[in-house]
Chain A
Amino acid sequence: MRTRDFTAAAADTASVGLSLFPLGVSLGVLVAHAGLDWWWATAFTAVIYAGSLEFLLLGLVATVTPLGQIAVTALLVNMRHVFYALSFPLRQVRPLGRVYATFALTDEAYALTAGGRARGWSGARILWMQALCQAYWVGGATAGALAGALVPVTLHGLEFALTALFVVLTIDAWRDRRDLPTPLLAAASFAAAALLTPGRLLPVAMGLFTAGLLIRYALRHRRQPSKPATRQLPAPVPASASAGLER
């Protein structure tokens, strides 16, 4: 290990750490407020290491939600991580380090390497960057849980940190591609799920949204290479997926 890689990674992660640590603190305080032992905050953040999922899990475990529904939630909430592999510079990391590099491929790690910024980074610098991000997160959550366990005062409204985080992430994602149909489709999917299946709101809303996007993709791509012979039937969703592979 070279000090130069560590110093560079510390500089790379400074801004991200400023948001990860306080968010970790609020997660830790919520763990304590939920009546769980403080070290569950450490276990959640160190082992699962998927921030938004961990916030959601606190609400789900409080009502002892069945494991199957937890699995579906984890799958849908973290589905976006599949796409991070498209540009993450994993090949710059030595094979043994790749195990950790994929495990710690969070939104923040992806954002820090996005846009070809990490093309010249050494494997060690990438791994240090990821380890530091995790350290801020686990450290914040542990500190917050310990503080929350010591101070018995319940602060109302702390859980709004999660809402604010998602609002901020929505705005950032929206800025990338100012496209109106997608957020409208998401809002409609949420409204439909809230009315039809309030008990399984999250997985159903995300399922409807994904199906809607696939239909939108199919409609858009049928217009361009128009094949009149296949137009009498609406294209089933899997067919659109294979049509995409041909391109």
Chain B
Amino acid sequence: MPTPLYLAAVVAVSTAITWGLRALPFAVLGPLRRSSVLQFLAVQMPTGIMLILALYTLRDLRPTPWTAMVPTVLALAAAIGLHLKTRNAVVSVLGATALHVLLSTFWHTG
């Protein structure tokens, strides 16, 4: 169980790094604007980073009893399908999550 001191340190470290990343580029904006390698990264990074984060959230998924994967697979399909259709993040996230909660609750008890 994490202690309050540890949690406070986690908050402090995360805040310092996040704020630093947001503020730093304004200080060195001139050269940054002209750097074509940074512009390439700026364009290419979001898709890959988001995909890695999505995969990371699924890291504990195991196909050993294949039935355990059913709620996640169906909810993933719902998230992708809803977002391709509606382009509305609220609908896609809430819809897929609601489906997952329903399925996994039903799956566990049933």
* A contacts, CB < 8 Å to B: 18-19, 22-23, 26, 35-36, 40, 43-44, 47-50, 52-53, 56-57, 60-62, 64, 67, 70-71, 74-86, 90, 98, 102-103, 105, 155-174, 176-177, 179, 182-183, 185-187, 189-190, 194, 201-202, 205-206, 209-210, 213-214, 216-217, 221, 240-241, 243-245, 247
Interface of chain B, main secondary structure: helix
Question: How many inter-chain contacts with C-beta < 8 Å in the A-B complex?
Answer: 251
Q: Tell whether, in the assembled complex, residue A44 and residue B11 are in contact, meaning their CB atoms are under 8 Å apart.
A: yes
Q: Is A187 a contact partner of B55 (Cβ separation < 8 A)?
A: yes
Known A-B contacts A61-B2, A162-B57; the reply to A74 vs B17 at CB < 8 A is yes
Are A19 and B93 closer than 8 Å at their CB atoms? yes
Give complex CA distance A201, B104 in Å.
26
Across the interface, which residues of B come within 8 angstroms of A19, CB to CB?
A: 89-90, 93
Q: Chain A contact residues: over half helix, strand or loop, or mixed?
A: helix
User: How far is A243 from B80 in the complex, measured between Cα atoms in Å?
Assistant: 39
A102 touches B45 (CB 8 A): no
6 A-B pairs (CB sep. < 8 Å): A49-B15, A56-B56, A70-B13, A79-B49, A179-B47, A244-B35
Of residues A19, A56, A61, A160, which shows the largest number of chain B Cβ atoms within 10 Å of its Cβ?
A160
